[in-house]
Amino acid sequence: MGNCYLQLADGIVLIASDHTWIEGKAIQQLETTARLPGMQYVAGMPDLHPGRGYPVGAAFFSRERFYPALVGNDIGCGMALWQTDLPVATLRLDKLEQRLGNIDLPLADCDNALWQQGIDTFGLPLTGHERSLGTIGGGNHFAELQQLDEVYDEQAVLALSLDRQRLLLLVHSGSRGLGESILREQIEQFGHHGLAADSADAEHYLARHNAALRFAACNRDLIGQRMLQRLRSEGSKRLDVHHNLVSRATIVGYDGWLHRKGATPADAGPVIIPGSRGDYSYLVQPLVDDRSLRSLAHGAGRKWQRSD
């Protein structure tokens, strides 16, 4: 990481160049998080920005306790990449837009069979949030068609069976209202104190958390399939990676809990990092490094509030 690895204090690192703009409040939140009981290391990514009490674009490693508030209200938020059979050479954006139409309506009302198939395939328990499956949601979530522009490693592209002559589909979404309801339950019962890792309360949260991960993956899958059907295209999913989650991990020889809040896993194979709207995205093979808590930027940082 060279000069981009900045040791702010004991157990606190920031991975960013000297020219990367990062709001001071985000650094303050990173430092506050480092003082939580049981917290060992925190790492801010280049897209670090302030969140609701805790920074977004960061990873956190704790022992004996973990913190649902660090995962946040969109458990399982992440990105899925599809290879489509839509040819780049004959691309007509106006036609594709007409075919796509409105995909904000509940999928259950438009294609109940596909919706139910997703629930069954991912083994989702009924939570009352199923009608949001297959919808993108707000915030910085999106779905867009892309094409390969420049390749630095032909073999890596071939390994993913990507076709330069065909469009890709990138879907960014999460667990919708389900994640929000899980976090709200935790805050109402335990505030921001976290959970003892060996407690029944921790086991209960993890069960709901893991179900939300499946819900989020199912949601991205249904968004992709829904769009492909509208675009009269076939496609297959190449990647699906979560950005918001907590999991068991071993960091610098210690067993504990790795939280990611708007951070891409660096230990899960190739990942895609989107640029700002209208800019390039990057498909990369990360380097695994404990100093960065096995994480890297997820590409959704911003200088301005969404409302601006």
Catalytic site residue 298?
A: yes
How many Cα atoms sit within 13 Å of 109 on the Cβ side?
8
How does strand 295-297 pair with strand 263-265? antiparallel
Choose the catalytic residue: 129, 141, 259, 298: 298
3-state secondary structure the chain: CHHHEEEEECCEEEECCCCCCCCHHHHHHHHHHHCCCCEEEEEEEEEEECCCCCCEEEEEEECCEECHHHHCCCCCCEEEEEEEEEECCCCCHHHHHHHHCCCCCCHHHHCHHHHHHHHHHCCCCCCCCHHHCCCCCCCCCEEEEECCCCCCCHHHHHHCCCCCCEEEEEEEECCHHHHHHHHHHHHHHHCCCCEECCCHHHHHHHHHHHHHHHHHHHHHHHHHHHHHHHCCCCEEEEEEEECEEEEEEEECCEEEEEEEECEEECCCCCEEECCCCCCCCEEECCCCCHHHCCEEECCCCCCCCCCC
Q: What positions carry a catalytic annotation?
A: 298
